[in-house]
Structure 1
Amino acid sequence: MDWQQILATRTQRMSASEIRELLKLLDQPDIISFAGGIPDPDLFPAQAFSDAMSGALSGPKAGEALQYSVSEGYAPLRDWIVGEMGRLGVPCVRDNILITSGSQQALDYLGKLMLSPGDTALVGWPTYLGALGAFNAYEPRYVRFDPDTNRPPESYAEGAEPGRVKFAYLSVDFANPTGRTLDAAARERLLDTAEALDIAVIEDAAYQSLRYDGEALAPVLAREIARRGEIDACRTIYCGSFSKTLAPGLRVGWVCAAREVIDRLVLLKQAGDLHSATLNQMAIAEVAGAEFDAHVEKIRSAYCSRRDAMLAALDAHMPEGVSWTRPEGGMFIWLTLPAHVATVALLERSLETERVAFVPGHAFYADGSGQNTLRLSFSRTDADTIAEGITRLGRLIAAAI
């Protein structure tokens, strides 16, 4: 059968994730991998989760843990998130929270909720590859969003017909892939632009808890609540996750937004997977309630030292003509090489000769540009291995320049 003739047009914009493919390299013991932006499994609170799941399955809630549940999510977990959002300056109630199967599902549902073919999505340049993958299925047009500049809002709508601009998507704290953080003034300009265009704001907060130094900044949603008085009057949709703080394998994230948005997302959840795994939600609620702050402090300390080791190694071993970001948190450092150096070809040579993996930067651009950029992750690698890997990579780049 010729499957191509019956596939939807949206499949033409689907492709394999380069990062997911690179993760397969982690099984090769001689590869030094700076590719996968994933947590260090040695830092997972495994015993706490073992105890939480055992308790859920052996106690009076065993039936609840193994049963179908409400689409909105496990009530005690949603209540914990309400408290956490309050600490971030986002007063809300349980009805403002939807539990999702990771924040990636939230991005998929938001694309499905808002995008028709030909509509415009404003995204960073570069931006999170997973967001592009989620939105691509709904056939949008992408426009570069520049909240760091005073670009007139109306310019973003130019050429948007026959669709219209629907939302701006940004990771505002220690963004994947660049590690950059949007400053307070840029966050206010983001809201100004969204109001002028009457569009939604999708705030991807996957890395917000991973600040190592510098002053914490209020989320965009908190800033909009300060303007409008309450969350139900806001256009900002906050996407949170336990994947970078507690455990990615349990696939638990959340959306915090106006009740009208949550109600519509619940309908998509009901049609998609009914609800996220109840046992996983119960375990997350137990572990988060008992030790979230202490655990986050532990991983901050570990990742901070690894970031510092990578920055020191870059300072020592990168040749002239290479620049990089200096993130205040998160898991990533973004390198820009001279324009003539193609990082896809560089990766091939690196794997063959130096046995160092990274992610070529073009994958994070909606238009495939950024051929001379690359992303490094420091989250899974100890200081000595970082020093060795960056030494090798610096040698390779010096030869390419």
Structure 2
Amino acid sequence: MLDWEKIFATRSSRMKASEIRELLKLLERPDIISFAGGIPDPKLFPAEEFKEAYADIFASGKSDAALQYSVSEGYKPLREWLQGEMAKLGVPCAPENIFITSGSQQALDYLGKLFLSPNDTALVVRPTYLGALQAFNAYEPTYDDLQPNGNRTPASYEEAAAKAGGKVKFAYFSADFSNPTGETIDREGREKLIDLGDEMDIALIEDAAYQYLRFDGTPIPPVLALEIERKGSIENTRTIYSGSFSKTLAPGLRVGYVVANSTVIRKLVLMKQAADLHSSTINQLAVHHVAANGFDAQIAKIKAVYSHRRNKMLEALDKYMPKSATWTKPEGGMFIWVTLPDYMNGADLLAAAIETEKVAFVPGKAFHADGSGANTVRLAYSCANDEMIEEGIKRLGNLIRAHQK
């Protein structure tokens, strides 16, 4: 028999199945109350608007261009619309600073490929987005613990990276309502990230997938905006902003984007030419149509629903969770992060929860590059109605009490 493991590249050994993708299969079981999938509620997709958009493409004579090969940078009217949106966030830029990807996940893969050689170090917050770790893992990096408001010095990062056999290449973070914790980096932490990037001469990768899902609190400018404020132009910045339409319009269309200085954009365009040539042209046209004709209304709609569900879950946690558990109180996004007593294991708790309580969530260990965090879990409220939240958190609270020492 052919031994494929001997033929595969060494990087393949670092490719692991996503616990989240596996848990999504539980959504198909009607008996399971799931807080596992951090996915948008499909009932909130602007389906009629997309139906109209695709109809317009074929009715208005745009179908030839929509079904044809296109430029790797992305559909220019969409990039021009994004230019306007970025300006509202404090990021003045040109269409040449914007690059369309097949979802923001592709952007993370490209950025890992662009910066990481084997044994180089990626600085990531702990815990961090599992999809980012999976994207970066293929390029065989070492990870170190990014602490936006901590006391780590550039010298300590550089020393650790040298011992691992490489250099620190970038810091990756989600500044607003991060996946998995729902936490936000405050302005001071964002400014310190820019300082760190400048001192170490590394890239800063700002994952802004949840940028538009702020429910309350005071908005904080993106790190890219703060850096432009300091340095005068996006061409002088080291922050690479990764955005997506997946959480605002629809994830199935796979349309994301990167905003950065033109040197980085040109490299990413070359990567796309070698990988898949360009993102789906017709989907870019449809996204542009829907966004240009009703983006703000769509954002208002989803924020009203998700903020209500966030509030319901926080209320249920207060009502049913034992005092031995603590949790985050996010100002937006889709997630609440629960920390259990040290002796508890989230994976073991999940097995018991599915078997006896018919409740699903994501164990927290998968979000830790160093394998820690076994006593943490992620709860997603985006697809849960009031009754599911009330009953599911009640069952989960009872289960945690039963496993207390």
TM-score by length of 2: 0.98
Partner of 1:226: 229
**What code does the residue aligned with 2:86 have?**
M
* Corresponding residue for residue 293 of structure 2: 290
Distance 2:258 2:245 in 1: 12
Query: How far off its partner does 1:153 sit?
Result: 2.0
Following TM superposition, by how much is the alpha carbon of 1:156 offset from its aligned partner in structure 2, in angstroms?
1.3
How far apart in 2 are the matches of 1:297 and 1:154? 45
- Tell me how far 1:159 sits from its aligned partner: 2.3
Q: In structure 2, what is the Cα distance between the partners aligned to 1:175 and 1:156?
A: 23
**Alpha-carbon separation, structure 2, partners of 1:229 and 1:323:** 42
Q: Deviations over 1:159-205 (max 9, x none)?
A: 21231000000001000000000000000001101111000000000
Pairing 1:299–2:311 present: no
Q: Distance in 2 between matches of 1:253 and 1:8?
A: 29
Aligned to 1:166: 169
2:277 is aligned, of 274, 277, 296, to 274
For 1:153 and 1:118, locate their aligned partners in 2 and report how far apart those are by CA, in whole Å. Answer: 18
Aligned-partner residue type, residue 159 of structure 1 = A
Distance 1:57 1:377 in 2: 38
Structure 1 partner of 2:180? 177
- Corresponding residue for residue 46 of structure 1: 47
Amino acid at match of 1:143: D
Q: Percent identity?
A: 62
Q: Deviations over 1:13-32 (max 9, x none)?
A: 10000000000000000100
2:38 is aligned with 1:37:
yes
Q: Counterparts of 2:166 and 2:78 in 1: how far apart (Å)?
A: 38
The structural deviation recorded for 1:58 is 2.7
Q: How does 1:18-167 map to 2 (within 5 A)?
A: 18-161=19-162, 162-167=165-170
In the TM superposition, what is the alpha-carbon distance from 1:150 to its structure 2 partner? 3.3
Post-superposition Cα deviations, 1:51-91, rounded to whole Å, max 9, x if no partner, equal 10111123211100100000000010000000000000000
Instruction: Give the count of matched residue pairs.
Output: 401
Q: Write the mapping of 1:289-328 to structure 2, written as runs, cut at 5 A.
A: 289-328=292-331
Question: Is 1:359 aligned to residue 362 of structure 2?
Answer: yes
What SS does the aligned partner of 2:100 have? strand
The code of the aligned residue for 2:398 comes to: R
Rounded Cα–Cα distance in structure 2 between residues aligned with 1:206 and 1:377: 15
User: Aligned partners of 1:157 and 1:126: how far apart in 2?
Assistant: 21
1:369 aligns to 2:372 (yes or no): yes
Q: Distance in 1 between matches of 2:39 and 2:166?
A: 36
User: Matched residues in 2 for 1:156 and 1:195: separation?
Assistant: 14
Q: Following the alignment from structure 2 to structure 1, what is the Cα–Cα distance between the partners of residues 3 and 151?
A: 50
Counterpart position of 2:217? 214
Offset from partner CA, 1:187-245 (integer Å, 9 cap, x none): 00011011110000000000010000000000000000011100011000000000000
CA distance in 2: counterparts of 1:398 and 1:320, whole angstroms? 10
Deviation, structure 1 residue 306? 0.1
Pick aligned residue for 2:342 from 336, 339, 343: 339
SS of 2:83 mapped into structure 1? helix
Greater CA drift, 55-64 or 131-140: 55-64
1:5 aligns with 2:6: yes
Task: List structure 1 runs of 4+ shifted beyond 2 angstroms.
Answer: none
For 1:206 and 1:326, how far apart are their aligned partners in 2?
Answer: 19
**Aligned partner of 1:196: which letter?**
E
Amino acid at match of 2:262: R
Q: Give the AA of the match of 2:270.
A: L
Letter paired with 1:235: R
TM-score of the two chains, using structure 1 as the length reference: 0.99
Q: Distance in 2 between matches of 1:225 and 1:236?
A: 9
Mapped to 1, the partners of 2:209 and 2:12 lie a distance apart of 27
C-alpha deviations, 1:357-401, integer Å up to 9, x for none? 000000000011100000000000111110000000000011011
SS at match of 1:371: coil
The 2-side partners of 1:77 and 1:95 are apart by 12
- 1:320 deviates by 1.4
Q: C-alpha distance in 2, partners of 1:255/1:351?
A: 38
Please list every run of 5 or more consecutive structure 2 residues that lacks an aligned counterpart in the other structure: none
> Separation in 1 of the partners of 2:121 and 2:370?
14
Uncovered stretches (5+) of structure 1, i.e. residues with no partner: none
What letter corresponds to residue 123 of structure 2 in structure 1?
L
The one-letter amino acid paired with 2:277 is L
Post-superposition shift, 1:145? 0.5
Distance in 2 (CA, whole Å) between partners of 1:124 and 1:71 is: 31
The alignment partner of 1:166 has SS state of: strand
Secondary structure at 1:203 match in 2? strand
- Distance in 1, matches of 2:320 and 2:293, equals 43
Equivalent position SS for 1:158: helix
The 3-state SS of whatever aligns with 1:105 is: helix
Partner of 2:268: 265
CA positional deviation for 1:151? 2.4
What secondary structure, in the 3-state scheme, does the structure 2 residue paired with 1:160 have?
helix
SS in structure 2 at match of 1:121: strand
